[in-house]
Structure 1
């Protein structure tokens, strides 16, 4: 089969690989229908996140079950499925407590420990507790967003709000830092709560315009943090934002989040970070900021994220403007790396 292989920083290739087989009787094999490029993959692609080479890329994918292990109970050959970007056992402490992204047996698709879905076929371990039968309520195109980016954007907003449960959302100000696909999903999720306002931060004009069309107030990162702080404080009586969601995964973005949030405000970071936290303990103490960060437990929050996407499918249609054959993946990575497009979906 054809597959997209990571060969090193800014190097991927299309190679022939064996069709995967059931290795464990809880596995399923799927014929991939759609597989998308995610912004978090750029951390590896750009060399920001050190990684071994030689594995199949891709952690956003959908497909049809073509083989199922003997112990698989909830899925059968012919079922259409979507898989969260990490596997989970469904039985450990974390899986039982709505924290599937921290399953003790979890593996990340499209990494050195588990081949991903940018291929004609892929293997899904622990299928009963990992893969999800495709709901009929959303389109085949929108389904691939439920592997990662829509639940992750939703999780960023949900996590921030849960840190300050007594705040009046209708009078609150949100800031979303990063207007790539995950950031747009976070903006959609925040706007759905009907807050007073949502600011969107980026330095790519096309992304800022998309955020504006959805109803957010654009702030250009290149204007500098002082100007952004002034705009946010002018809109909040001098306080700063009640909720800030950081999606980028780079220290300058996280520091900007800290600068824009008000004292006793809430920050949620869902970007993939590899550096130190860019503020001191003294800074945090002086601001009484409430802060959470980390990977989205897609399997745990799938139903509630899906319920929102059902209502917002038209808002994400623009993400399917660039559907291309898997054979063109090398060029697709280059386009995505240069931020020429919002999203790329490959079809094997």
Structure 2
């Protein structure tokens, strides 16, 4: 099959002919119809999140089941599916308790093994990890759900406990940040979006953000958010992942507010100086959010089906596999236009539904 491969960190990935993935006994092989290009893939390519080399990236994908292992009982060849970016082992206490997203034996296509920048990808523990796609949800839309959108949904609903008329601050308006803006608006919240890029702030306004903050021009972003929200956000999300955005997210909260860390903090950025004096004095909550387990997808998909959530509006470009490497490398630079990029590995003329 054709797959995008890089042999060293930071070297431009290229399309190569590689062996088809073997089907796990408890898993499936999925023919990839669409896969998102995510900053997490960029972190791995840059060596911030080490992977075994050579490597095929990609972890936000949707497609059709092409092969089924003998220990799989719930899925058949031809089923339309998507998959969380964290796949639980299906055997531990965390998986049994519904928390596959923190499974200590998790697999992650695109990180622990070859990913979805390919015509096919293998998934373990299929009965636990696969999500059936409604016929009304196309593959490109579904590819936007697996990491950024599902992560934002669970961050706001499970951790942020965001409700109507509360203030939500979103720091960083890339894929997960714009997802958080859309979801927050759909939940009836009032949203302040923070970013250094004008087009990203404009896109956040298009999605319903009530106010925006130019982090490149405002000296004290947290103070500005507190001013705009009349005392601070009820919920704040660091959707970028940097010491400045993490600290700013905590500092912009009102008393009893909730900070949710979604953006990855890796390497030297892994231990930002969070203002724990404010956390104690204002009884703030600090949460990490690491995706969403497959069994939690139906509530989100129901809102996609009825049009309450429109993740398709977050897609900026749809490209073929030959351009996936350059799309990943382009994340070295600040985005000039907002919107995620989706790759269609299916050859020209193949199924696109």
* TM-score in same-fold range (> 0.5): yes
Partner of residue 188, structure 1: 182
Aligned 1:133-152 pairs, distance under 5 A: 133-152=132-151
For 1:249, the equivalent position in structure 2 comes to 241
Q: Which has the higher helix share?
A: 1
In the alignment, structure 1 segments of 5+ residues that lack a partner are: none
Show CA shifts across 1:167-216 (max 9, x none). xx444211011111111111111111212x21001111111101001111
Deviation, structure 1 residue 268:
0.9
Verify: 1:62 aligned to 2:58, yes or no. Answer: no
Task: Output one character per residue of 1:21-60: Cα deviation in whole Å (capped at 9) or x when no partner.
Answer: 22x3212112211111112222223343344421211001
Query: What does residue range 33-44 of structure 1 map to in structure 2 within 5 Å?
Result: 33-44=33-44
Shift of 1:313: 7.2
Pair 105,292 (structure 1): closer, same or farther in 2 beyond 3 Å: same
Equivalent residue, structure 2, for 1:345: 342
Contact 1:99 1:300 in 2 (8 A): no
CA shift for structure 1 position 121: 1.1
Equivalences, count: 338
1:148 is paired with a residue whose SS is helix
User: Please, what TM-score do these two structures have when normalized by structure 1?
Assistant: 0.90
Correspondence for 2:254 among 241, 259, 262: 262
Q: CA deviation at 1:314?
A: 7.4
Correspondence for 1:17: 18
SS in 2 for 1:20: coil
**Is 2:317 aligned against 1:322?**
yes
Deviation at 1:304, TM superposition (A): 1.6
Deviation digits for residues 106-162 of structure 1 (CA, Å, limit 9, x no counterpart): 111101x21111111111111111112222242232111222221111112113433
Which whole-Å CA distance do the structure 2 matches of 1:300 and 1:224 have between them?
A: 41
Q: Distance in 1 between matches of 2:341 and 2:264?
A: 19
Quote the offset at 1:331 in angstroms: 1.9
Instruction: Please state if 1:206 is matched with 2:207.
Output: no
Q: What is the deviation of 1:77? A: 1.2
- Cα RMSD between the aligned structures? 2.1
Instruction: Identify if the C-alpha distance between structure 1 residues 192 and 182 changes in structure 2 by more than 3 Å, giving closer, same or farther.
Output: same
Gap change, CA 1:209 and 1:151, over 3 Å in 2 = same
Paired residue secondary structure (2:303): helix
